[in-house]
Copies of this chain bind each other. A is one copy, B any other.
């Protein structure tokens, strides 16, 4: 069993990336509710992300979404981020918000549209070159709404072709993260609906293609930690997009809906060596704060991932293995539950104090006056959002 100091060291080394779009307005197809103080520019998003890092100490990078975060000079943006205390992280390609993409992007039956989508993906790699980002995250909204609408297999061929072209373009030290999702916005077929499809494509592409697990993108009843364990075993787990859900892709704060599931996921991450920075597993948030304030929403989420990680690290591995090997069902379960039931907030408070941070990041942020300041200052202009 790890000592408290070893546990703290691992927690201190964990990196959780926040997404630029979490700081903008979001909503459902029914309504996007505006919130005061929401950023109008990429730089204001970076400022907000820097706050999350300032109070938690473990969120040192922010992911960009292109074209939402398109700027003229990415090097300057990277410098701006650096000055703010964070780095630019993964580049997220967006090939779902142009009228051309109504029937798909890289899988569209129309070759012209496919070419346009591919060009956007390649542009994203250009941006990575400029920002120094390691990861290109690919999520495709592609799919169909009606049986017969398009040919499932042809679309797989088109997908494979586009992925190969992008993979080919990747530079030294760059990776492609392929994300899967059960459904939405497509309602009949989705071209990358499950981990199996993502895995098969990544295997075909090569070792720099890895699977991204978004915790909200599965069918009801799916055992996500099993997928995590299997992907780690296969060396194909590239990243997490963390969030939580009760129903579909609710994109709630991670750990809000099923904290025990988040714990079990982190247990498999630890078990499979995924917490080791050398494993290259990126821990990213991908959330919408439709009704709650954005920065507090991110702070709470970062803390939730930390708490789950801390509990996972508390599992008495030797006792667990002994119970498992001897077929002691309740005993083995008890070892796991013992870690889960532990209140790790004191431990995390200590760690933060040691890192020179307030033990309670949420309270400290709320006291800081930043929220009131941006609400007062960020008046006028167009608030950032998904632009749907």
Question: What is the interface of chain A, defined by CB distance below 8 A to chain B?
Answer: 26-34, 96-97, 99, 101-103, 109-110, 141, 145-154, 156-157, 182-185, 187-190, 193-197, 199-200, 203, 218-223, 225-227, 229-230, 232-234, 245-248, 250, 252-253, 256-261, 264, 267-268, 271-272, 290-293, 296-297, 300, 307, 320-321, 323-327, 329-330, 332-337, 340-343, 345, 362, 386, 388
Q: For residue A203, which residues in chain B have a CB less than 8 angstroms away from its CB?
A: 203
Whether B330 pairs with A182 at a CB distance below 8 angstroms is no
Roughly how many angstroms separate A193 CA and B194 CA in the complex, as a whole number? 13
Instruction: Count the copies.
Output: 4
- Cβ of A275 to closest chain B Cβ, rounded Å: 15
Q: For residue A342, which residues in chain B have a CB less than 8 angstroms away from its CB?
A: 343
Q: For residue A184, which residues in chain B have a CB less than 8 angstroms away from its CB?
A: 28, 30, 247-248
Roughly how many angstroms separate A58 CA and B119 CA in the complex, as a whole number? 48
Q: For residue A97, which residues in chain B have a CB less than 8 angstroms away from its CB?
A: 30-31
Roughly how many angstroms separate A59 CA and B101 CA in the complex, as a whole number? 33
Whether A187 pairs with B252 at a CB distance below 8 angstroms is yes
- The 8 Å CB contact of A148, one of B30, B230, B332, is B332
Q: For residue A271, which residues in chain B have a CB less than 8 angstroms away from its CB?
A: 151-153
Roughly how many angstroms separate A197 CA and B233 CA in the complex, as a whole number? 12
Whether B250 pairs with A187 at a CB distance below 8 angstroms is yes
- Cβ of A331 to closest chain B Cβ, rounded Å: 9
